[in-house]
Amino acid sequence: MCRNIRVLYNFEPPTTREEIAAAALQYVRKVSGLRAPSLTDRGAFDRAVAEIAHCTEHLLEDLSAKTTVRTREGEREKARERGRRREASLAR
């Protein structure tokens, strides 16, 4: 999965619409291979982002977690640790 797409489920405080929209935009960019679509493709691109964000909101509302709630700082620390391990393995 693209490193820029983050886990959005089971956070305290809850995931915001802005975070959902950003993830939807990253997904559409990855799938389409376009960072910025042409004027001709802009409508389809924007519609896809909106639809994916909408579906994501419903998905997050409908899931019921049985795990501990995540925090953004905890997730950042996990990412930092993965980065440190990746750097260490490259340095060998």
Q: Determine the average pLDDT of the residues in 3-10.
A: 80
3-state secondary structure at position 77 = helix
Whether residue 45 contacts residue 32, with contact meaning beta carbons closer than 8 Å, is answered with: yes
CA 77 to chain centre: 17
Q: Is the pLDDT of residue 5 over 80?
A: no
Residue carrying structure tokens 């930092």: 80
Q: How many domains would you assign to the chain?
A: 1
Q: What is the predicted pLDDT for the residue at 67?
A: 86
Whether residue 3 is contained in a domain is answered as no
Structural domain of 39: 17-91
Whether residue 4 is contained in a domain is answered as no
What are 69-83's pLDDT values in tens digits? 999 999 889 989 999
Whether residue 21 is contained in a domain is answered as yes
Whether residue 85 is contained in a domain is answered as yes
What are 8-67's pLDDT values in tens digits? 999 989 999 999 999 999 999 999 999 999 999 999 999 999 999 999 999 999 999 888
State pTM to two decimals.
Answer: 0.78
